[in-house]
Amino acid sequence: MKVVIIGAGIAGLVQGLLLRQLGYEVVLCERSPQPNHRGHAFLMNEDGLSVLRPLIEASGKPLTCQSVDLFSLKRPSEEELIKIQLDGWYCFKRVDLVSYLISLFGEEHILFGCEFDHFVYDQHRATHAVFHHGIEVRGDLFIGADGSRSAVRKALFGPTHFTPVDVKEIVGISQYTRLSEYKIFEKIQCHDRGLAFGFIPANAHQSVWFMQFDSRLASENDLNHPEGLKSFCQDILRDFPKEVHEVLNANDFSTSYVWNTQDFDLLPAFHQKNVVLIGDAAHLALPFTSAGTTNALMDASVLTHYLSRGIDMNTAFEKYYQKRALPLEAHITQGRMLKQGFLEPLNHSERGFMLPLISQKYAAKKDHEAKPLVLAYFTDPICSTCWVFQPLLRKLGLEYGKYIEIVYHMGGLLPSWEAYSQGTIHNPEDAARLWNDIADKQHFPLDGDIWYEDPLESSYPSSIAFKAAQLQDNDKAVSFLRRMKEMLFMEKKNINHWRHMEQAALTSGLDAALLKKDMQGEGLAHFKQDLDLAKALGIHVFPTLLFQVDGFTRFSLRGQHPYERLEEYILAYCPQAKKQPITLSVESLFSLFNQLNAREIEFILSMDSKNVNRNLNDLENRGIVQRFQLKSAQYWVKL
């Protein structure tokens, strides 16, 4: 079968490569007289890269791109509103990716200078694509990949009704690079008008930048030549941070361009007979979503999948549309909502920023069903007994998670050393000896030398941080608490220092900027509520578990207890509970918990130490986990 692809941009090139792998004869037709390298750089997420990866592996040629670690949203005053870790996002220079794909396809196999005009039909099926200057190319299947102003789409469905140009975007590539441990996508956005500036590292030497603005803020005369662009950008951004102007000063405005952002409603279909559309030719979302290239690659992948299944062409096209229509419509809707928030910032809450860059890790959890038994868990981030109690909690969740809900409360173990007096612990040195003694006796990862090297003055800051994290998402807050404990007990990091707290928040899927703000407001208020509750209940031993049914406390369990005793009370107050057997392997356990120590694994999986160590050594040799050695124990982190 001969496939004619109209448009040799990223979508067309990838589609051609995928179909050629299936054995199709593929002809690429491009209207430009030479390879089209217009455009500077763009973001792509892991979904898009997963389409490219088999092509990269098959070719053996490396593909250059820049991973992006963090997203930060600020005001021009440099107040940070959002700071999140990005999972699986990459910045590509368009010229690099197009050149790479052409090298795989072969430039000699691309017909340049072919501007589409119309199809020739026989019995309602296209047989030839006719281009300007009279060039005709015969085919059995035609794919329109000719961009947002697609002539193929117009031939199939008539003129497209685009939305008005409410937002314009100036794009450039600057010789500016930020010296930073992280690769940050930073966006500075006004609070009172539609104006934003963003920049992203494209490689070690360059940053791609963009300025989005309400189209009413500029006249065409401002934007029709390089000096006008430069003057307009510098003037309208005069109150933005110094770094923004450093980006602009290192930019060649003769290569910058204006993008008039528009979209159109989702088409009722992506095909007619044997002609089908992909990429921007098929659908168009506003650039706020950062989804354009990824969506084009997903189109190519899904269409290839259905064409490979041996079904008739029309059915393959219908299934392709059914698979892609829902996520594409969601992106179109999301882009429009983001545009409204951008143009009318005073009408939208800062806390309600929509983040199109978030992965499932950051997605809001759906409300879960109420569990018959609630365990109110009073704990503290620096409590060593609570740290040793962690494996029991994890095992309870795996075996009885269907029936129990664990609700975390902070107990306020250490207000300050001046206000602390419990048992034999009176100062940091006493705490160090206790921790090291527990580590020696129980062979549990726990290093008390933190109390000599960088002692914590209080457990209140980390407790307040946890309560602030709960305002964002309870599950992420629990992960955050666990990560802070790992930093403190195993890595000897003072978790009262914001740099450690922020890192724990980012790796747990939290917005670190919002966390910092909430620690001074609602998070602090909620922590005080926990302290009042603990005081009213007479709780001063940690951990303490209250077994609650229908809102009433039936029993409390204080301090460390055997797992069997926890089970006994769960079954006493929730007779319908049935233990879920744990059939996980050591490897699959790491898919649930990113960081584990050998004692945890032994306990959770009821596996002997010899077998656990053999499995861990195998995972380490296969590059799945990394081992970290402490004074008295080891722990492993999933890579």
Neighbouring residues of 133: CB distance < 8 A, sequence distance ≥ 6: 113
Distance CA 168, CA 178 (A): 26
Q: Cα–Cα distance between 453 and 532 in angstroms, integer? A: 33
User: Are 12 and 102 contacting, i.e. CB atoms less than 8 angstroms apart?
Assistant: no
Helix, strand or coil, per DSSP, at residue 456: coil
- Position 144, amino acid: G
Distance CA 272, CA 141 (A): 11
Tell me the two tokens of residue 233. 């950008």
Neighbours of 25 (CB within 10 A): 12
* Strand blocks (E) in 61-166: 66-67, 70-74, 80-85, 89-93, 110-112, 116-122, 125-131, 136-138, 141-144
Dihedral Cα 596, 86, 51, 14, nearest 10 deg: -160
Task: Answer positive or negative: Cα dihedral of 109, 114, 117, 120.
Answer: negative
| Strand ranges (E), 17-166 | 25-30, 41-45, 66-67, 70-74, 80-85, 89-93, 110-112, 116-122, 125-131, 136-138, 141-144
Contacts of 218 (CB under 8 A, 6+ apart): 168, 232, 236
Q: Residues of 114-153 as b/e, b for ≥16 C-beta within 10 angstroms?
A: bbbeebeeeeeebebbbbeeebebebebbbbbbbbebbbb
Contact 282, 271 (CB under 8 A): no
Of the candidates 157, 165, 144, the residue with the CA atom closest to the CA atom of residue 280: 144
Q: How many CB atoms neighbour CB 582 within 10 A?
A: 12
CA distance linking residue 426 with residue 423, whole number of Å = 8
Question: Residue 134: which region, alpha, beta or left (left: phi > 0; alpha: psi -120 to 50)?
Answer: left
Strand partners, 26: 3
Preceding amide of 381 cis, omega within 30: no
Both tokens of 355, joined, read 């983040």
* Region 264-276 average pLDDT: 97
| Beta-ladder partners of 208 | 173, 200
Q: What are phi and psi of 584, to 5 degrees?
A: -75, 150
pLDDT (mean) for 461-469: 98
Confidence at residue 364, expressed as pLDDT on a 0 to 100 scale: 47
Phi, psi of 598 (to 5 degrees): -60, -40
Radius of gyration for the alpha carbons in the chain, expressed in angstroms and rounded: 29
Q: Where are the domains of the chain?
A: 2-62+94-163+264-343, 373-573, 586-638
Position 267 pLDDT exceeds 70: yes
**One-letter identity of residue 231:** S
The model's pLDDT over 97-140, given as tens digits with 9 standing for 90+, comes to: 999 999 999 999 999 999 999 999 999 999 999 999 889 999 99
Instruction: Answer whether 35's CB lies under 8 Å from 172's CB.
Output: no
Note the pLDDT tens digit of each residue in 287-341: 998 899 999 999 999 999 999 999 999 999 999 999 999 999 999 999 999 999 9
Q: CA end-to-end span of the chain, whole Å?
A: 44
Can you spell out the DSSP letters for 335-375? HHHHHHHHH-GGGS-GGG---TT--TTTSPPPPPPPPSEEE
> Do residues 14 and 101 make contact, with C-beta atoms less than 8 angstroms apart?
yes
The string of DSSP letters for 406-437 reads EEEEE----S-STT--BTTB-SHHHHHHHHHH
Mean per-residue pLDDT, 256-280? 96
Long-range contacts of 307-313 (CB under 8 A, 24+ apart): 307/19, 307/22, 308/22, 313/141, 313/274
Top-confidence residue, 370 or 576? 576
Output the pLDDT for position 164: 96
Residues recorded for the chain: 639
Phi and psi based region of residue 492 (left: phi greater than 0; alpha: psi -120 to 50; beta: remaining): left
User: Over 50: is that where the pLDDT of 579 sits?
Assistant: yes
457 by DSSP, 3-state: which?
coil
Give the DSSP H or E segment for 452: helix 450-453
| pLDDT on residue 358 | 54
Residue 378 token pair = 């009073």
> pLDDT for 502-519, tens place per residue?
999 999 999 999 999 999
Q: What would the pLDDT profile of 586-608 be if each residue is shown by its tens digit?
A: 999 999 999 999 999 999 999 99
Average pLDDT over residues 35-60: 89
Percent of the chain residues past pLDDT 70, beyond the cut: 96
Residue 362 pLDDT exceeds 50 = no
CATH assignment of 586-638, among 1.10.3720.10, 1.10.10.10, 2.40.50.140, 3.40.50.2020 = 1.10.10.10
The residues that bridge with 118 in the sheet, in sequence order, are 130
The domain made up of 373-573 is a member of CATH 3.40.30.10:
yes
* Domain covering 2-62+94-163+264-343: architecture: 3-Layer(bba) Sandwich (3.50)
Mean pLDDT value of segment 439-448:
89
CB 354 within 8 A of CB 73: no
pLDDT (0 to 100) of residue 87: 87
Please give the Cα distance from 569 to 443 (Å, whole number).
28
pLDDT, tens digit, for every residue of 223-266? 889 999 999 999 999 999 999 999 999 999 999 999 999 999 99
| Mean pLDDT estimate for the chain | 93
For the cut 60, the answer to whether the pLDDT of residue 214 exceeds it is yes
Q: In the predicted model, is pLDDT for residue 523 greater than 60?
A: yes
Q: What is the pLDDT of residues 621-632, one digit of tens each?
A: 999 999 988 876
| Helix pair 522-537, 460-472: axis angle to 10 deg | 110
The whole-number pLDDT of residue 349 equals 63
CA–CA distances in Å: residue 400 to residues 91, 257, 588: 43, 58, 19
Predicted local distance difference test score (pLDDT) of residue 133: 85
pLDDT tens per residue across span 339-357: 999 999 888 765 555 566 6
